Amino acid sequence: MSLDRSYQRSAASGRPPRRAKWAFQFPANWRDEIDFVLLSALLILIALGGGSAFADTMSLLYVRLAAVVTMVAFLLTPARPDWHTYRAPILMLAVLAAIIAAQLVPLPPSLWEALPGREPYLEAARALGIPQPWRALSLTPDLTANSLATLIVPAAVLFGVTKLAAHQRERLLPIFIILCSVSMALGILQLGSGHQSALYWYKRTYPGTAVGLLANRNHQAAMLAVLFIALYAWNQLPVRDRIWKRWRTGIATTLGIAVIPVLLATGSRAGVLLALFSIAVAIFAFPVNRLRPGAMVKNARLIRTGIISLLVIIAVATWRFGRALSIQRLLGGAPNVEEDLRFRYAPLVWDIIRKTFPAGTGFGSFDPVFRQYEPDAILKNTYFNHAHNELLELVMTAGLAGVVLLGAFVLWCTLKFVAAIRDKGNKRRYHDTILGLTMIVVFLLASLVDYPLRTPLLQSWFAIACAWLCSARRVERSEAR
């Protein structure tokens, strides 16, 4: 058996043979990759079964079980979690879990009766002659317990991120891009296979629209809106191979163009506006550092103008061919569009908040409590499962404690953004902050008209976005080592 030329040259020179660039190389220390492999497998399982927010979705059983098993596996791997770097999101997630758990603690009758909004239940008990037992603060303890269980998935994902190195954390960005690409492809197949297609995985969904891996078209649109900033950030990552750099730019451009028709076909009006926000951040927030210094300003303007023009042309073409349901609904011309109940019922939600604040009604209690206050004039054969405005629903179900926690989270994000702007010379910190903050802002803005963060799939990537905001210190420490 003869040796190839590289082995012959290495034998003559006494140096070890050199592998081809494309050859697979098993990690020198494979134990360092265990946590990344576990987290990747968990994210795949969440993508396959965590696209619905309804508590009776059967796939949530194995998604939550997988999260628990993965969390136990993280405890057994050799890498140490970096609690200090990610202490802020971990602490806020723990506080949220504590608030929900506190709503399940039984209270003495005298204290429970003093809570605002409990008068109708007291009157019913007096009319029946039933003495008041010890009751939890939540009016629906079973649904509140389910809300506590939903935190298992983002907690497992966040725990996994704390055990990753800086280069492993960067690999999560291509995973998100691949996830969005699969959801896009599935959405295209759903459009082509009709309303009764088996490709719609969830019982409660939007047949005839490109929902992809999710059950709700607005949730799919929110995720695809984030794809623009993810593609731009991925293309900005440093790479040594020039050939791969060109390929990566081509892939990012192709996916950025392909997502426009799919996004418009979802029928989400908010998704169109969120996509415009994500594109604006991608174009203007990130510096154009791929060009020669002399041609930087001129070529940057040409690139930005060309990208905006191309996206407008694609959007107009999709609209003209009748597939841009999002634009039709945005302009008010879509057929069979009912009156938007989220705005019509907002005053009624405010009335519930006024009667139950500051105690709240309990996480997960919106639907039963809303039925109690719903007037007969607006009764219909469908039900209003959420407020479609997470700010209103948080104030209603969590009361003052939820408002304080949300304010602390917004303040933390603001401080992280200000720190990144002041230290703009640290490109890695600026890159991670803009990426994570844009993803957070898109999901929060989408939550003002829907409930995307109630799905395990988007909960997981929201947790990863929070981790990207914390990544600067870890990067600096790893580079110092």
Give pLDDT, residue 421. 81
Domain assignment present for residue 371? The answer is: yes
> How many distinct structural domains can be found in the chain?
2
364 and 480 inside one domain: yes
| Among 314, 337, 360, residue at a domain's last position | 337
User: Do residues 221 and 271 lie in contact, with contact meaning Cβ atoms separated by under 8 Å?
Assistant: yes
Question: How many Cβ atoms from other residues are within 10 Å of residue 308's Cβ?
Answer: 13
| Among 272, 304, 337, residue at a domain's last position | 337
199 and 65 inside one domain: no
| AA identity, residue 54 | F
Give pLDDT, residue 338. 44
User: Do residues 153 and 459 lie in contact, with contact meaning Cβ atoms separated by under 8 Å?
Assistant: yes
- pLDDT tens, position by position, 235-290: 888 888 888 888 888 898 889 888 888 888 887 888 888 888 888 888 777 655 44
User: Do residues 161 and 39 lie in contact, with contact meaning Cβ atoms separated by under 8 Å?
Assistant: yes
Following CA atoms 196, 216, 97, 63 in sequence, which dihedral angle do they give, to the nearest 10 degrees?
40
d(CA 409, CA 414): 9
349 and 328 inside one domain: no
d(CA 310, CA 305): 9
| φ, ψ (nearest 5 deg) of residue 255 | -65, -40
d(CA 248, CA 271): 26
- pLDDT tens, position by position, 326-355: 455 555 544 443 446 677 788 888 999 999
Residue 257: half-sphere exposure toward Cβ, Cα within 13 Å: 12
310 and 295 inside one domain: yes
181 and 311 inside one domain: yes
- Could you give the angle at the alpha carbon of 159 between the alpha carbons of 396 and 215, nearest 5°? 55
322 and 420 inside one domain: no
Range of the domain at 401: 31-103+138-164+341-481
Give pLDDT, residue 18. 45
Domain assignment present for residue 8? The answer is: no
291 and 358 inside one domain: no
Which pTM value belongs to this model? 0.84
Q: What is the DSSP string of 135-149?
A: EESSS-HHHHHHHHH
Give pLDDT, residue 465. 95
Determine which helix (DSSP H) or strand (DSSP E) holds 106, and give its type and residue range: strand 106-107
Cα 341 to Cα 138, 384, 450, 451: the distances in Å are 26, 8, 12, 14
**What 3-state DSSP class applies to 255?**
helix
User: Do residues 232 and 211 lie in contact, with contact meaning Cβ atoms separated by under 8 Å?
Assistant: no
Give pLDDT, residue 8. 46
275 and 326 inside one domain: yes
Cα 340 to Cα 283, 330, 332, 373, 450: the distances in Å are 33, 12, 11, 19, 12
Roughly what angle, to the nearest 10 degrees, separates helices 456-469 and 152-161? 30
DSSP state of 362: -
User: Do residues 121 and 427 lie in contact, with contact meaning Cβ atoms separated by under 8 Å?
Assistant: no
Give pLDDT, residue 146. 94
Return all residues near 79 (Cβ < 8 A) that are at least 6 apart: 31, 32, 34, 35, 163
Domain assignment present for residue 472? The answer is: yes
d(CA 427, CA 288): 12
User: Do residues 445 and 458 lie in contact, with contact meaning Cβ atoms separated by under 8 Å?
Assistant: no
Cα 57 to Cα 12, 63, 155, 220: the distances in Å are 65, 11, 20, 18
User: Do residues 195 and 207 lie in contact, with contact meaning Cβ atoms separated by under 8 Å?
Assistant: yes
230 and 270 inside one domain: yes
Domain assignment present for residue 178? The answer is: yes
Domain assignment present for residue 52? The answer is: yes
Domain assignment present for residue 15? The answer is: no
Give pLDDT, residue 69. 96
Residues counted in the chain: 481
Give pLDDT, residue 55. 85
d(CA 311, CA 257): 7
326 and 246 inside one domain: yes
End-to-end CA distance of the chain: 45
387 and 281 inside one domain: no
Return all residues near 158 (Cβ < 8 A) that are at least 6 apart: 86, 89, 90, 93, 463, 464, 466, 467
Domain assignment present for residue 113? The answer is: no
Domain assignment present for residue 71? The answer is: yes
Q: What is the DSSP string of 191-223?
A: HHH-TT-TT--SSSS-TTS--TTSS-HHHHHHH
Q: Indicate the burial class of 32 (C-beta count within 10 angstroms; 0-12, 13-18, 19 or more).
A: middle
333 and 351 inside one domain: no
Q: What is the pLDDT along the chain (481 residues), one digit of tens a residue?
A: 344 444 444 444 444 444 444 334 445 566 778 999 999 999 999 999 999 988 888 999 999 999 999 999 999 998 899 999 999 999 999 999 999 999 999 999 889 989 998 888 888 888 888 888 889 999 999 999 999 999 999 999 999 999 998 888 889 999 999 999 999 999 999 888 877 788 898 988 888 888 999 999 999 999 999 999 999 889 888 888 888 888 888 898 889 888 888 888 887 888 888 888 888 888 777 655 443 444 444 445 555 555 556 556 655 555 554 444 545 555 554 444 344 667 778 888 899 999 999 999 999 999 889 888 877 666 666 667 788 889 999 999 999 999 999 999 999 999 998 888 887 667 777 888 889 999 999 999 999 988 999 999 999 999 999 999 887 554 444 444 4
Give pLDDT, residue 472. 55
User: Do residues 272 and 220 lie in contact, with contact meaning Cβ atoms separated by under 8 Å?
Assistant: no
- Could you give the angle at the alpha carbon of 156 between the alpha carbons of 29 and 417, nearest 5°? 90
Which is nearest to 391 in space by CA: 378, 375, 403, 376? 403
Residue carrying the six token digits 């059950």: 215
Across the strands, what pairs with 106? 136
Which is nearest to 321 in space by CA: 253, 257, 265? 265
Give pLDDT, residue 120. 85
| Among 313, 337, 361, residue at a domain's last position | 337
| φ, ψ (nearest 5 deg) of residue 146 | -65, -40
